[in-house]
Amino acid sequence: MIPTPWQRYRHLHRFREIVQLLVRYGFDELVDQLELVPLLAPPARFVRKRRTGQALSTPQRLRKLLEALGPTFIKLGQILSTRPDLLPPAYIKALSLLQDQAPPIPVEQIFSVIEQEFGWPAHLLFREFEEAPLAAASLAQVHGAVLPSGERVVVKVQRPGTLPGIEEDLSILHELAHLAQQKTTWGELYDFVEIAEDFASTLRAELDYRREGHNTDRFRRNFSREEHLYIPKVYWAYSSGRVLTLERLTGVKIDDLEGIQAAGMDSKAIARHSARIIIKEVLVDGFFHADPHPGNFLVMPGEVIGAMDFGLVGHLDRYLREELARLLFAAVNADADGVVEQMLRMGYISGAVNRPALRRDVNRLLQEYRSMPLKDIRAQAVVAEIWPLAFRHHLHLPTDLWLLGKTLAMMEGMGLKLDPDFDMFAVAKPYARQVVHQFTSPRALGEKALHNAEAWGDLLLVLPQRIYALLDQLEHGRLEARFQLQDADQLAQRGEKAVNRLALSLLTAALIIATAIILPAADFVWPWNIVTWLAILGIAGSSTMGLFLLTVCRKK
């Protein structure tokens, strides 16, 4: 008899604990569906009585379950709260309330980790070290300290024994993902194994504090000229994979309106600064703080915003930003077909999606906002409308886009608290123009034309070899069941001529495309610039090659 996965599983004790908690919180059906009943103790296999959260809704019970399962599953729930394509809105709302808090551990255990990382006891590394933690979470604890040079810092230390438990849970999650992929109908729509692997990669990266330190340094570089944002300094000599030491910031919490007013600061100006900073992160840098809740921001003297905690960040590369700009252009023009086609082009729509139904829902959403002034449109409301649509049609949007939606909604909520008349779109306009200029400038168009030319060149280099290989296979009779070659040599000669004409045609097409791309940037007022000369040469060259092709094709 072949052993079942749990019988040969090396984390059997923890696996059983997870299954028992699933039953305790009322997820019996899932246990049956995944065929995990043998992992239950004999009495529980036959008599199942839910003992916890009976009066709670299913989303609330899921949140309680994840909290009971510990740090790995709390982090999983927090990630899932940003994925409305995977869960209905009620679950997203419940999981967004997950709290990652834990009782503090004795400072001696913190000292032990520090000594393991640096080889020196904490009292020799720091002039002062506050024993009472500033914050305590399931994965880390934060303490205040003073360096030998006198700088005040905060020290984030990973709890001892965290990594082995995380790795055990990630291994079990991977096994559960395989079971869900094979045994549930949802496995036909979603790649649970890929989702589990992405989560494991994200969590492992978060547990390496050097990454957070490098994120912090990158934000410092991106905003080196911004006078209304301050990013703390990373003290790399006192940082490692499990310890991160940062400059300590002091100020008023950004959502403390009374404190801001008591300090004589302008809350409306702070709202504009915070919005402008995040819009620049998203549209210009493509690298944004993906956890902008009020606890991560302080207001310092001079209405300077101090930002903290760069463990969770989002990335939008140039291609994605350009494609999003096209998607936004179609949405602004209330073009439902254009929106659906652009989502298809970006790979967000699977083959199983009912496109007419998706188009109707997109059109309804666009018409709802079409007549509204931009200042009356709220990002929070738009995001809330998109969530059920994404789940209903199983749209496969990347995690960074969901993080972006959550970030903009949180930023807008913070801005509205500081300024009831806050208009996010007014803040975004100049940056949107800057992005459009980036994508349509002569330099950008030239780079795109060069890239396209390289792609066409690669195709032209490979295509003759592939065709000759195909002709060789045909010549050796591998497809003789379908047809018989009369004269392989003659066919090869004809094939060579066809390849040459095809290559010339592709080269002509590439030249036409490149010319069309740079033509809008041409200025035909004398003296001509380099872009104009390139456009004229492209027109002349493509015309000449086109006429030559017409002449050749007419010959028998």
DSSP secondary structure, 293-319, as one string: -GGGEEEETTTEEEE---SSEEE--HH
* Cα–Cα distance for residue pair 280/287, rounded to 1 Å: 9
How many CB atoms neighbour CB 430 within 10 A? 12
Q: Identify the pLDDT of residue 485.
A: 44
What are the C-alpha distances in Å from 90 to residues 61, 383, 387? 12, 14, 10
Tens of pLDDT, residue by residue, the chain (556 residues): 334 554 445 688 899 999 999 999 989 889 889 988 888 866 555 445 555 656 789 999 999 999 999 999 999 998 888 888 788 889 988 998 887 778 899 999 999 999 999 999 999 999 999 999 999 988 999 999 999 999 999 999 999 988 899 999 999 999 999 999 999 888 877 889 998 998 999 899 889 999 999 999 999 999 999 999 999 999 999 999 999 999 999 999 998 989 999 999 999 999 889 888 888 888 888 899 988 778 889 999 999 999 999 988 888 888 888 787 778 778 777 788 888 888 888 888 876 788 889 999 999 888 887 777 666 777 777 777 887 888 888 888 788 887 888 788 777 888 888 888 877 777 776 766 666 566 555 555 555 555 555 555 555 566 666 666 666 666 666 544 444 444 555 555 565 566 566 666 666 666 666 666 666 656 665 666 666 667 677 777 767 766 666 665 555 4
Look at residues 168, 179, 171 and name the one whose alpha carbon lies nearest to residue 37: 179
- Helix ranges (H only) for 26-80 are 28-33, 42-46, 58-69, 71-80
* Cα–Cα distance for residue pair 143/126, rounded to 1 Å: 12
* Cα–Cα distance for residue pair 207/343, rounded to 1 Å: 34
pTM: 0.71
* Cα–Cα distance for residue pair 174/113, rounded to 1 Å: 29
- Helix ranges (H only) for 153-266 are 162-183, 192-206, 209-222, 257-262
Tokens 């295509």 correspond to: 463
Q: Is residue 547 exposed (0-12), middle (13-18) or buried (19+ Cβ within 10 Å)?
A: exposed
Q: Residue 94 is inside which H or E element, if any?
A: helix 89-95
Q: Identify the pLDDT of residue 325.
A: 75
How many CB atoms neighbour CB 35 within 10 A? 14
Q: Identify the pLDDT of residue 219.
A: 95
Residues near 460 by beta carbon (within 8 Å), at least 6 away in sequence: 503, 506, 507
Q: Identify the pLDDT of residue 155.
A: 98
Q: What would the two tokens of residue 188 be?
A: 């036909």
* Cα–Cα distance for residue pair 392/398, rounded to 1 Å: 17
Q: Show which residues are catalytic.
A: 291
* Cα–Cα distance for residue pair 18/451, rounded to 1 Å: 51
Q: SS3 sequence, 339-372?
A: HHHHHHHCCCCCCCCCHHHHHHHHHHHHHHHHCC
Q: Residue 152 is inside which H or E element, if any?
A: strand 152-158
* Cα–Cα distance for residue pair 173/92, rounded to 1 Å: 20
Is the Cβ–Cβ distance between 485 and 477 less than 8 Å? Answer: yes
Instruction: Say if strands 297-300 and 252-253 run parallel, antiparallel, or are unpaired.
Output: antiparallel
111-118 long-range contacts (CB < 8 A, ≥24 apart) are 112/160, 113/157, 113/158, 113/159, 113/160, 113/242, 113/243, 114/155, 114/157, 114/243, 116/242, 117/240, 117/241, 117/242, 117/243, 118/238, 118/240, 118/243
Is the Cβ–Cβ distance between 29 and 58 less than 8 Å? Answer: no
Tokens 């927090």 correspond to: 78
Instruction: Say if strands 229-230 and 304-307 run parallel, antiparallel, or are unpaired.
Output: parallel
Q: What count of residues does the chain have?
A: 556
Q: Identify the pLDDT of residue 187.
A: 83
Q: Strand, helix or coil at 138?
A: coil
Q: Say which DSSP state 234 is in.
A: B
Q: Identify the pLDDT of residue 160.
A: 93
Cα dihedral across residues 177, 288, 340, 363: positive or negative: positive
How many CB atoms neighbour CB 110 within 10 A? 25
Query: Strand pairing partners for 230?
Result: 306
Q: Strand, helix or coil at 156?
A: strand
Q: Identify the pLDDT of residue 131.
A: 94
Q: What would the two tokens of residue 61 be?
A: 């019970």
Look at residues 383, 433, 435, 369 and name the one whose alpha carbon lies nearest to residue 411: 383
